[in-house]
Amino acid sequence: MNLFQDKLTELSALNKRRALISANGIDFSSNDYLGLANHEGLRQNLIEHLQSDIALGAGGSRLLRGNHPQHESLESFAADFFGAEAALFMSTGYLANLAVFTALAARGDKIIFDEYVHASAKEGIHASPAKHSKFAHNNASACEDAVKRARDRGAKNIWIAVESVYSMDGDMAPLAQLMDIANRYDAYLIVDEAHATGVHGPDGRGLSAVFEGAENLIAVHTCGKALGQAGALVTLSAVLKDYLINTARSFIYTTAPTPLMAVAVEAALKAVRDEPDRRAKLLDLISHAHGTFKNVPGETQIIPLIIGGDGAAFAQAKRLQEQGFDIRAIRTPTVPKNTARLRLSITLNVTPTDIEDLAKAVIS
């Protein structure tokens, strides 16, 4: 036990020790971009379902007794909403990424990923039997060079993996260029839409929506961010969905999401469809935030305030928390060395005045 305590002490000395703290103060840290986590209409919808005979638990994996009508209803609605041939609902985005990379990318294949793609995608990539290499962030030319080398060296299938909106930098992937590369080199494009779903793209359907229906596109739509719920939807061809159901261990050997969560996610997607004013209001807030915090990178609801050292970022976050702002420090290894930051997240849980007050507090 002392060994682990020593390691924790070392993390503390390096300003890298993490701790669970409760939500407190003005929300500048959550991913509840559209404010759907506390949407009264969604709440009432769930209450009505609870008063019916809906199962409270799934009862098993989807392939045993855990496949419920609510799961299938959600998948049908989601495929139509996103414009995909099929959708598969999974318990978390982490498990979805494990499924996609470990089941689809095989030995003899090559995965080429953006160096800033987030941790759950990297976990799936590293667990895959396929070889992998990274390319410089958002550099389509570097991606093409890597794809060409893989093709010249006889890779069977090539998989390009990116985020549409990067979770720590708030910038967007050059998806049109990447999709063109995938098409020209007979490769697949895997897009994690975690921070775009509900916010960006046509009608909030994500930045890859314009390419949906292509057989070589797989998109992961996390449901715990702008949708305010939990789980993840993978949109893809019907053949690839069937293949995941048959081969993805993180799908086969996991208890299914509850039927109630499937209901909640479908209701959240309908709210995105039926309440476009929410998205419009959020986009106005994002514009206001970028006008208030000048000369910051990114162009989305995620605004990184780069501090530098881990200790300095942690101290700054603590100072702002004491002033009533819930903002967190992001440190290595989540971000590169000397780029520790405050990750400012713009949601409908704040007002323009809140944004201005935070900017004044950051400067002071």
Give dist(CA 11, CA 200) in Å, integer.
37
Of all helices (H) and strands (E), which one includes residue 187?
none
DSSP 86: E
Give dist(CA 78, CA 265) in Å, integer.
9
Residue 107 burial class via C-beta count within 10 angstroms: exposed 0-12, middle 13-18, buried 19 and up: exposed
| pLDDT bucket at 23, cuts 50 / 70 / 90 | confident
Mean pLDDT of 334-354: 95
Beta bridge partners of 160: 112, 189
| pLDDT bucket at 200, cuts 50 / 70 / 90 | very high
In sequence order, which residues have a C-beta less than 8 Å from that of residue 191 and are 6 or more positions away? 162, 163, 164, 173, 175, 206, 207, 208, 217, 218, 219, 220
Tell me how crowded residue 318 is: count the other CB atoms within 10 A of its CB.
12
DSSP letter string, 153-191: TT-SSEEEEEESB-TTT--B--HHHHHHHHHHTT-EEEE
Mean pLDDT lowest among 246-255, 263-272, 333-342? 333-342
Q: What is the pLDDT of residues 126-155, one digit of tens each?
A: 999 999 999 999 999 999 999 999 999 999
Q: What is the pLDDT of residues 73-111, one digit of tens each?
A: 999 999 999 999 999 999 999 999 999 999 999 999 999
Give dist(CA 42, CA 344) in Å, integer.
26
Here the tokens at position 39 are 């949407």
pLDDT at 286 exceeding the cut of 90? yes
Residues 233, 193: contact at Cβ < 8 Å?
Answer: no
In sequence order, which residues have a C-beta less than 8 Å from that of residue 57 and are 6 or more positions away? 258
Structural domains of the chain in order of their starting residue, each with its CATH number: 18-33+301-363 (3.90.1150.10), 43-273 (3.40.640.10)
Dihedral angle sign, alpha carbons of residues 14, 340, 229, 261: negative
Q: For residue 147, what pLDDT is reported?
A: 98
Q: Which residue has the tokens 């049908």?
A: 76
Q: For residue 9, what pLDDT is reported?
A: 93
- Closest by CA to 18, choosing from 360, 313, 349, 284, is 313
Q: Please identify every residue annotated as catalytic.
A: 31, 118, 163, 167, 192, 195, 225
Q: What is the pLDDT of residues 25-42, one digit of tens each?
A: 999 999 999 999 999 999
- State yes or no: cis peptide before 174, omega within 30 of 0: no
More confident residue, 364 or 310: 310
Q: For residue 1, what pLDDT is reported?
A: 67
Mean pLDDT lowest among 96-110, 192-206, 307-321? 307-321
Dihedral angle sign, alpha carbons of residues 282, 287, 288, 292: positive
Q: Mean pLDDT over all residues of the chain? A: 96
- Closest by CA to 332, choosing from 304, 307, 309, 303, is 309
Mean pLDDT of 237-243: 98
Residues 234, 226: contact at Cβ < 8 Å?
Answer: no
Mean pLDDT lowest among 19-28, 29-38, 192-201? 19-28
The three-point CA angle 156-162-165 to 5° equals 165
Here the tokens at position 89 are 């609902």
Give dist(CA 112, CA 358) in Å, integer.
39
Here the tokens at position 155 are 């890779």
Q: For residue 8, what pLDDT is reported?
A: 92
